[in-house]
Amino acid sequence: MGRLTRAEMQERNRAKVLAAARDEFTERGFRDAKIDGIAERAELTRGAVYSNFPGKRALYFVVLAEDAERAPEPPHPEPGGTGREALGALARAWVARLPLATDERHGSARLGMYLMPEVLAEERTRRPFAQLMKLDAILLGLALERLRPPDAPPVRLVRVAEAALTTLHGASQMADAAPGFIEPFNVVSACEQLAGLDLDDGWPPPHIPYIPQARPADEPWSPPRAVDAVRGEPARLAGDGVVAILGLHRLEAAEEAVRATPPGVTVTTVLVTGDPDELAPLARLAIADLCGHLRQAFPPSGWPRLQVVHDESGAVAAAAGVPAVSDETEAAVRVEASRIVARADGRGACHATAPAGGGAPDGQPPTSSAKRRK
């Protein structure tokens, strides 16, 4: 067997560190886990661990993200055909993974119990996480909207999705803090009831003092291969559509692209960050945590038409003409016939690049008279 290249050696060491970290976190818990212990398990030096990951929290986020992305789906899922059934199926899949009162304090079932304390520890993790939850709610809300009966009036269901996710994340926190307190069947029933709530939801136009005008362009569009995290399959980037490059502080703008784009047009949100070592795995975790369950609970016809691509290297952003990215990035391009034909930057970019004829996608609901998005 030939000698490994430097890149192959780095990849092998990274895999060894991750496997060792998973064992360390499982057996000792995140708080008591030590970098020295991880290095010893991996049979590497402490410096080798730090050459692959900037710290213990970054390692923790990567371990959780990989577990969420690789979680097996049931061989014969039974997705719901209505919003009520789909929310119930989503809740059942969610509570099935919750730790039981009989589980050990440390173990694989409780591997994620320190996630929220670590997210809350600093503003630089709290703010992106809040936007990631917004994006999760948008994805779930769009999926619920696609399951409306054909004769039902159009209605935005993102607020219903927010209520369901609040219930489910709250159940997760209580299962960690007070094992045995949560009755799973009650959580499922509560989520089913949410499907019928009228939360006076509507979609107002973007509340932005100045919406930029899209600039005409005529540039080649040759994106690299990427994965759609919503569907868990190769992203459809080569066809016509809108591609939004969004930093982790601007993820809620993804809804502007969807609402302003006609049905049938592909919309892709490309997630970028100025801190790929720590925030990129947090983004992967938040999206995989929802979408793995969403694919179980919703039929393919009910999956949101929004694609989500994690762009840790910035390669997709660069192909779109956005070479420098940060958590505040907001840019969008419109693609037609393998050419970028329009682009915009700054707040409102997603709305500005929508193709002509947008404005009422998928039966867009009217603006709520009582509440406005801020």
Instruction: For residue range 155-178, list pLDDT tens digits in order.
Output: 999 999 999 999 999 999 998 888
Domains of the chain by start residue, with CATH: 6-53 (1.10.10.60), 83-194 (no CATH), 215-352 (3.40.30.10)
Is the pLDDT reported for residue 278 higher than 80? Answer: yes
How many CB atoms are closer than 10 A to CB 74?
Answer: 9
362: pLDDT strictly greater than 90: no
Contact of 353 with 343, CB cutoff 8 Å? yes
Residue 363 binned pLDDT confidence (cut-offs 50, 70, 90): very low
Cα-Cα-Cα-Cα dihedral sign, residues 282, 328, 117, 168: negative
Q: Is the pLDDT of residue 125 over 50?
A: yes
43 C-beta neighbours (distance < 10 Å), count? 10
Q: For 83-87, 155-159, 182-186, 205-209, which range has the lowest pLDDT when averaged over its residues?
A: 205-209
* Closest C-alpha to 293, from 71, 129, 108: 71
pLDDT for res 24 = 94
The tens digit of pLDDT for each residue in 221-272 reads 999 999 999 999 999 999 999 999 999 999 999 999 999 998 889 999 999 9
Cα torsion angle, 193, 198, 199, 204, sign: positive
- Residue 60 tokens, joined: 């923790």
Vertex 168: Cα angle to 107 and 254 (nearest 5): 110
Residue pair 235/268 in contact by the 8 Å Cβ criterion: yes
Task: Express each pLDDT in 29-73 by its tens digit.
Answer: 999 999 999 999 999 999 999 999 999 999 999 999 999 998 876
Q: Tokens at residue 329, please?
A: 């990035």
Q: Which pTM value belongs to this model? A: 0.91
Q: Flag whether pLDDT at 361 surpasses 90.
A: no
